[in-house]
């Protein structure tokens, strides 16, 4: 995506519900500029795994579930955590439904190719946002307007592997582990101030199964965890699955652009 808003920062659902260090090393006997540090690299094995994942996620339609845990600080600086469970249905190029429930209630997103609707069942309110005709452009529009990020957005873009690797300066394969009985490749990537750990199924599907993001430059080094499961590529969602029909007693409210404080 056009910026690192793509998926590595912030709390998408919390904000939707509401909206709705460098040092210089010296070396004795040598000038500082004589030996520049080696250029960071991404191993061919790690890059190949992410590329296989990207091809899988370019499927025309699919669904998956995610269980996420995000750390954050309260007004007193006390580190706390918030949990969400997410169901995502996608039909490329212009249909998306996200249903999230968690510690802060439930929020649903419906995108039909023209309009994005944010609906809070508990609050009995919804808001609509005119949106471009692709999922990626829609996410950039909605995130930009509300000042929020969707930590899993890279997986839904027009080029999932390139979106995930944007800004990455180094990466390598660690080992093979088992998640729910399935072998998965454990990868680690670095970008300025952020470390990404990604687990990808070591199968023909090559879907992402786990993501951990660590923010090294933020106070208390907060983390975002996501476990992804129940991947289905044989679904056939209809237009109705991405269309919001207001239930009786639900009120439409205007969308207010969020300021910097909306970001996690």
Q: Is residue 224 part of a domain?
A: yes
Q: Is residue 37 part of a domain?
A: no
Q: Which helix (H) or strand (E) holds 247?
A: none
Place of tokens 């000042």: 147
Report which DSSP code applies to 152: T
The range of the structural domain enclosing residue 128 comes to 4-19+43-255
Query: Please, which residues bridge with residue 223 across strands?
Result: 214
Q: Is residue 38 part of a domain?
A: no
pLDDT of residue 246: 95
Q: SS3 of 149, please? A: coil
Q: What's the pTM?
A: 0.83
Task: Count the domains in the chain.
Answer: 1
pLDDT of residue 218: 77
Do the Cβ atoms of 76 and 65 come closer than 8 Å?
no
Q: Is residue 263 part of a domain?
A: no
Do the Cβ atoms of 212 and 225 come closer than 8 Å?
yes
Do the Cβ atoms of 153 and 29 come closer than 8 Å?
no
Q: Is residue 141 part of a domain?
A: yes
pLDDT of residue 258: 60
Q: Per residue of the chain (264 residues), give pLDDT as tens.
A: 433 333 333 344 444 555 552 322 222 222 334 445 556 699 999 999 999 999 999 999 999 999 999 988 788 888 889 999 999 999 999 999 999 999 999 999 999 999 999 999 999 999 999 999 999 999 998 888 887 667 799 999 999 999 999 999 999 999 999 999 999 999 999 999 999 999 999 999 999 999 999 988 877 788 899 999 999 999 999 999 999 999 999 999 998 766 544 433
Q: Is residue 89 part of a domain?
A: yes
Q: Is residue 36 part of a domain?
A: no
Query: Please, which residues bridge with residue 227 across strands?
Result: 67, 210
Do the Cβ atoms of 116 and 109 come closer than 8 Å?
yes
What does the buried/exposed string (b/e) look like for 163-183 if buried means 16 or more CB atoms within 10 Å of the residue's CB?
Answer: bbbbbbeebebeeeeeeeeee
Q: In a 10 Å sphere around its CB, with 0-12 CB exposed, 13-18 middle and 19+ buried, how is residue 101 labelled? A: middle
pLDDT of residue 74: 81
Q: Is residue 260 part of a domain?
A: no
pLDDT of residue 78: 84
Domain with residue 50: its CATH number is: 2.50.20.10
């Amino acid at each position: 995506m056009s910026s690192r808003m793509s998926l590595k920062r912030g709390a998408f659902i919390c904000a939707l519900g509401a909206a709705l260090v460098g040092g210089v090393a010296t070396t004795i006997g040598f000038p500082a500029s004589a030996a520049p540090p080696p250029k960071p690299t991404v191993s061919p094995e790690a890059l190949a795994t992410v590329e296989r994942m990207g091809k899988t996620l370019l499927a025309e339609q699919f669904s998956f579930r995610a269980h996420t845990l995000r750390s954050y600080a309260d007004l007193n600086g006390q580190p706390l955590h918030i949990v969400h469970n997410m169901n995502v249905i996608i039909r490329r190029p212009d249909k998306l439904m996200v249903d999230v429930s968690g510690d802060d209630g439930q929020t649903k997103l419906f995108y039909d190719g023209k309009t994005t609707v944010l609906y809070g069942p508990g609050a009995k309110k919804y808001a609509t946002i005119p949106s471009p005709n692709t999922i990626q452009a829609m996410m950039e529009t909605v995130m930009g307007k509300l000042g929020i990020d969707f930590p899993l957005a890279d997986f839904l873009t027009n080029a999932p592997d390139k979106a995930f690797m944007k800004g990455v300066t180094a990466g390598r394969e660690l080992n093979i582990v088992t998640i729910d009985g399935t072998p998965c490749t454990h990868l680690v990537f670095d970008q300025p101030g952020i470390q990404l750990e990604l687990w990808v199924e070591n199968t023909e599907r090559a879907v992402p199964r786990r993501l951990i993001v660590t923010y090294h430059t933020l106070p208390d080094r907060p983390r975002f965890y996501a476990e992804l499961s129940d991947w289905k590529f044989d679904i056939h969602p209809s237009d109705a699955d991405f269309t919001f029909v207001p239930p009786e007693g639900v009120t439409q409210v205007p969308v207010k652009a969020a300021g910097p404080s909306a970001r996690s």
